[in-house]
Amino acid sequence: MALSDGCSDCGLDINDEYAYMVHWQIWREAGRPKGCMCIGCLEARLGRVLTAEDFNWEIPLTYRSSHGRSERLISRMRFNRDGSPVVLSGIALEEWNLVLRELDNV
């Protein structure tokens, strides 16, 4: 899937809303959207706000710091459902810390 295709529901074409991968169960629950979906439309389909557990942190797209992410997207990815911060290790942790550092500098 290309990052530049735009949201398949609202047509929003802002790359910083797509730099994530959710678990396949979540994608299936959302009706298996074709292509990319902005976080807002995915949440509308699910009827709830996403949290860190919903994202697939095995996939570099989810944590790689070189991808731009909106504050909305990052706010969903930062914390688990219980409010605790996402727990990562290795390269995912290093990259994610860079993402958060950039956010703090804005």
The window from 12-20, 52-60, 77-85, 97-105 that contacts Zn ion (CB under 5 A) reads 12-20
- Least Å distance, CB 42 to Zn ion, is 8
Least distance in angstroms from the C-beta of 44 to Zn ion: 8
3-state secondary structure of 22: strand
The amino acid present at 32, given as its one-letter code, is: R
Strand ranges for 1-106 from DSSP E: none
The answer to whether residue 9 forms part of the interface with Zn ion (CB under 5 A) is: yes
Residue 56: Cβ within 10 Å count = 15
Q: Which is nearer to Zn ion, 12 or 61 (CB)?
A: 12
Candidates 22, 38, 73, 99; binder of Zn ion (CB under 5 A) is: 38
- Per CB under 5 A, 41 contacts Zn ion: yes
Q: Which of 83, 79, 74 is nearest to 101 (CA)?
A: 74
